[in-house]
Structure formats: structure tokens, C-alpha cells
Amino acid sequence: MSAARCNLVVTLRSAAIATAVLLGLGASDLKAATIERMDVGRTDVAVFMINGQFAGGETIELQRHIAKLPTNMPVSVILHSPGGSLSEGLQLGEFFYKARISTFVMGYGGLCASACSLAFLGGRDAKTGKPSRVKMNGGRLGFHQFSAVRSDAEKAKTYTKADMDNEARRTRNVAFVIIKYLSSINEDMSKLHLMLKAPSAEMNFISSAEALGLGINVMGEESEEFIEASSIQARFKRQ
């Protein structure tokens, strides 16, 4: 890892730890997401935090902030979100990928799940365009199957065969959209399997060891030790 990137990772780690302490992570009452630029003590990089549930509009709000920056300034985003709007999560991930924005999940109970975890996968290195996603060892990165949000009336109705066929069609359409998204960010389909391991009411939180095998970098909370996923994956390919 280059010295510049190492310095950036250490800076992100420090910012994430400070933010985790400030937020008192562990609270389950996250509201609609806010987007804030973090003061990391450096002028050569911009770090933003998306904190809260994706309600829609987060991508354009982040773009509004980034549009004010020099076009050659690297950008990183710290994500702390239980998810929310699937379409917004995919839109964010595509933006991270196209704009070469690295992504980061905080430790000490930091959370990035559901639609947030899909957005996280879009993280890319500003210079090389290669995957740049960092999970702190104590951060929670979770995947699960998606389901439609139904009104009380829809929950109470008696479904006909036609209704069930429509539900099956809608499920297939959602799966197709996610597959198309993974392809658009040049991601392999193993991430789809992560989602299938947990029903919509549960969550498949991956370990740091799993993260490394999936191309996600890992960093310790108590030390500045950084484990680069590509080095681990290269050894897997030799077998």
C-alpha cells in the first residue's frame, strides 16, 4: 500500500473512531440520513459521513457537496446506516463507483446494512479505480434479502393467485435490478449469495475474515493495522 493511501486510511480510522464516540453507537433509532463533511485535519482529501436511514435524495445531496470541491480531490465516505430505500442505496453505490469514492464502515458497533451494504460495495480508489472498501474490525456489515414495504391494508387483504403471481414477478424484478447493479460496478455475483443467506427479517453480518475473502479491506480499532484484501485473495488464487 502506498504511503499516501496508508495516511488516508489512518486519517479515516481516526475520524471514524472520533465519530463513533460522539454518536454513542448502538442506538437503534437512526432517523433519515444526514450528510456532513468531517473535519479530518487535512486539506488534500474530503471525508463525508452519511448517518441514518436512506429515505431518498441522499445521492443528490452528496453530489451537491462534492460539486464544490476541486475535481482532483479524493473523496471518502463513512457510512453508518441500517439501510432504507433500495433504489437510493443502488444509486449511491453507482455514484461511488463512477466518481471513484472510497467507502468506510466504522468500528465500535458502527452499522452498514441492507441497502447501505450494497452502496458500500461501490467504493473505489480515487487513483486506480480498484475496489476500495474498508470495514473496521468492530463494524457491522450486513446483507439480507429484500422485501416490498406493504401498507396495513395490503397486509390484511386475502391474496388471489393473480396477486401471488404479481408478487413473484416483483421479486424477480428486484433480483434482476440488484444483479444489474452488481454488474454495473464490476462486482462478482458472490455478493448476491450473501443476501440469500438471510431472509428479509434477519441479517447476515459478515466477519472480518469473510470480508477479506470478498475483497473488502479490514482495519483494527485498537491499532493502525490495515489488512489489504487483494493480498489475501491473491493467495487464494494460487491454490
pLDDT in the model for residue 27: 46
Torsion of CA 178, 184, 189, 194, to 10 degrees: -50
pLDDT in the model for residue 61: 97
CA dist 134 and 217 (Å) reads: 5
The pTM of the whole model exceeds 0.75: yes
Q: For residue 26, count other CB atoms closer than 10 A to its CB.
A: 10
pLDDT in the model for residue 134: 95
Beta partners for residue 133, in sequence order: 103
CA dist 202 and 142 (Å) reads: 10
The angle, 0 to 180 degrees and rounded to 10, between the axes of the packed helices 58-66 and 86-99 is: 30
Sheet holding 133-136, edge to edge: 34-38, 46-51, 75-80, 102-105, 133-136, 217-219, 226-227
Q: Where are the alpha helices (DSSP H) in the chain?
A: 3-23, 58-66, 86-99, 115-120, 152-156, 161-184, 190-196, 208-213, 229-238
**pLDDT, tens digit (0-9, with 9 covering 90-100), for 184-220:** 999 988 888 899 889 888 999 999 999 999 999 998 8
| Domain residue ranges in the chain | 3-238
Q: Which residue is listed with cell 468531517?
A: 38
- CATH T-level fold of 3-238: 2-enoyl-CoA Hydratase; Chain A, domain 1 (3.90.226)
Cβ-proximal residues to 131 (8 Å cutoff; 6+ apart), any chain: 123, 124, 125, 215, 216, 229, 230
**Residue type for position 202:** E
pLDDT in the model for residue 51: 93
**pLDDT, tens digit (0-9, with 9 covering 90-100), for 138-155:** 899 999 988 655 556 665
CA dist 112 and 79 (Å) reads: 6
pLDDT in the model for residue 209: 93
Q: Mean pLDDT of residues grouped by 10 in the chain (239 residues)?
A: 59 65 53 89 92 95 97 95 95 98 91 96 96 93 79 64 66 87 93 88 93 92 80 72
pLDDT in the model for residue 146: 82
pLDDT in the model for residue 31: 77
CB-CB contact of 80 with 113 (8 Å): no
**pLDDT, tens digit (0-9, with 9 covering 90-100), for 15-29:** 666 665 555 555 445
pLDDT in the model for residue 127: 93
pLDDT in the model for residue 232: 82
pLDDT in the model for residue 175: 86
